[in-house]
Amino acid sequence: QSVLTQPPSVSAAPGQKVTISCSGSSSNIGNNYVSWYQQLPGTAPKLLIYDNNKRPSRIPDRFSGSKSGTSATLGITGLQTGDEADYYCGTWDGSLGAVVFGGGTKLTVL
């Protein structure tokens, strides 16, 4: 059981937009920055978003992040088949004194 809750799967057609939610509490998302990771099949996770909405320079602007209260959202526009992957949110939990991750969301581009 993950501390952060994500939908197990989402899907959308190529070229469309999709959002992935990440729900937490005041001890984690509510008072800390959120990061997002993309894990392509058989590879290591890659940082997509940090500090809620910032992108590393190598990440295209099709990827965006936002946070409101105790929830965060990853948005992906202009979906490509190469975006099919598992996506994880992560943050610090002050009550646990630990880095926590969501259970992951599998994105299917139909």
Partner 1 sequence: QITLKESGPTLVKPTQTLTLTCTFSGFSLSTGGVGVGWIRQPPGKALEWLALLFWNDDRRYSLSLKSRVTITKDTSKNQVVLTMTNMDPVDTATYYCAHSSGYYQYYFDYWGQGTLVTVSS
Contact present, 52 and 67 (Cβ < 8 Å): yes
Q: Which of 7, 19, 33, 84 binds partner 1 (CB under 8 A)?
A: 33
Q: Say if residue 66 is exposed, middle or buried (CB neighbours under 10 Å; 0-12, 13-18, 19+).
A: middle
What is the H or E stretch that residue 74 is in?
Answer: strand 71-76
Residue 30 binds partner 1 (CB under 8 A)? no
Q: Which two tokens stand for residue 24?
A: 């937490």
Q: Which two tokens stand for residue 5?
A: 């809750």
Nearer to partner 1, 41 or 82 (CB): 41
What's the Rg (C-alpha) of the chain?
13
Site size toward partner 1 (CB under 8 A) is: 26
Minimal distance in Å, beta carbon 45 to partner 1?
Answer: 6
Residue 59 binds partner 1 (CB under 8 A)? no
Q: Which of 35, 38, 64, 71 binds partner 1 (CB under 8 A)?
A: 35
Which parts of this chain interact with partner 1 (CB under 8 A)? 2, 32-33, 35, 37, 43-47, 50-51, 56, 88, 90-92, 96-104
